[in-house]
Structure 1
Amino acid sequence: MLSGSIFGFGGGDKSRAGNEGKTQISVDEFKKWLMKFDQNKDGRISRSELRDAIKSRGARFTWWRSGCAMGKADVDGSGYIDEDEINYLLRFAKEKLRFEIL
């Protein structure tokens, strides 16, 4: 079973290992986790920043997966995922990144 601390959770975070080795995390915790990868602190997630987040989950084919996730989440076609679009990533996170969103 996966431990939450392996993926940058733990300490003050409330995430925990859930069923089938998925990391249980709230929507707010997911957003905070994702924004840790906002390297330039512009409040948006680029494809390369998303790739880094996906890579931190131990996933393979990170360039391809980040492209798929951007396709689902970047609804305005800006090339970035902003605060309003993060919710579109939740399904991808559940299916491909082994998060159990609470």
Structure 2
Amino acid sequence: MAFKTNHNISDDGRREFTVKEFKRWLMRFDTDKDGRISKSELRQIVRATGGWFSRWKGRAGMKSVDKNGNGFVDECEIENLINFAQKELGIRIIAY
């Protein structure tokens, strides 16, 4: 499956991912390749899903997701990001 970063999640318009697919999709936005998602990278994710107010949602998302307060979404905080994506971005994450 090929992904693109404009107003659809994937070429076929799917907004449903497994956890593994979602993590792989997220890493496409990790522009500095440090294995973490920054606030600006989260803004790009919001924009890619067609979300409005990406600056505000990115800031609010980071506040709700970044539990250790280091300014990044680390591997240990991915579950928080999954919850944010489902609630605020309209992405459905399935178990298998």
TM-score (norm 1): 0.79
AA aligned to 1:53 is I
Give the secondary structure class of the aligned counterpart of 2:92. strand
AA aligned to 2:71 is G
- 1:54 alignment counterpart: 46
CA offsets 1:21-61 (integer angstroms, 9 cap, x no match): xx111111111111110000001110001100110001000
TM-score (norm 2): 0.83
Q: Supply the RMSD in Å over aligned alpha carbons.
A: 1.8
- Extract structure 1 runs of 4+ deviating beyond 4 A: none
Counterparts of 1:91 and 1:84, CA distance in 2? 13
Considering Cα pairs closer than 8 Å and 6+ residues apart, tell me whether 1 or 2 has the greater RCO. Answer: 2
- 2:32 alignment counterpart: 40
Counterparts of 1:87 and 1:16, CA distance in 2? 23
Q: Check if 1:89 corresponds to 2:60.
A: no
- 1:69 alignment counterpart: 61
Q: Structure 2: 5+ residue runs without aligned partners? A: none
Q: Check if 1:98 corresponds to 2:90.
A: yes
AA aligned to 2:45 is A
Could you tell me how far 1:75 is from its partner in structure 2?
Answer: 0.7
Q: Structure 1: 5+ residue runs without aligned partners? A: 18-22
- 1:31 alignment counterpart: 23
Could you tell me how far 1:16 is from its partner in structure 2?
Answer: 6.7
Matched pairs, number: 89
Counterparts of 2:77 and 2:17, CA distance in 1? 18
Which of these two proteins has the greater Rg computed from alpha carbons?
Answer: 1
- 1:20 alignment counterpart: none
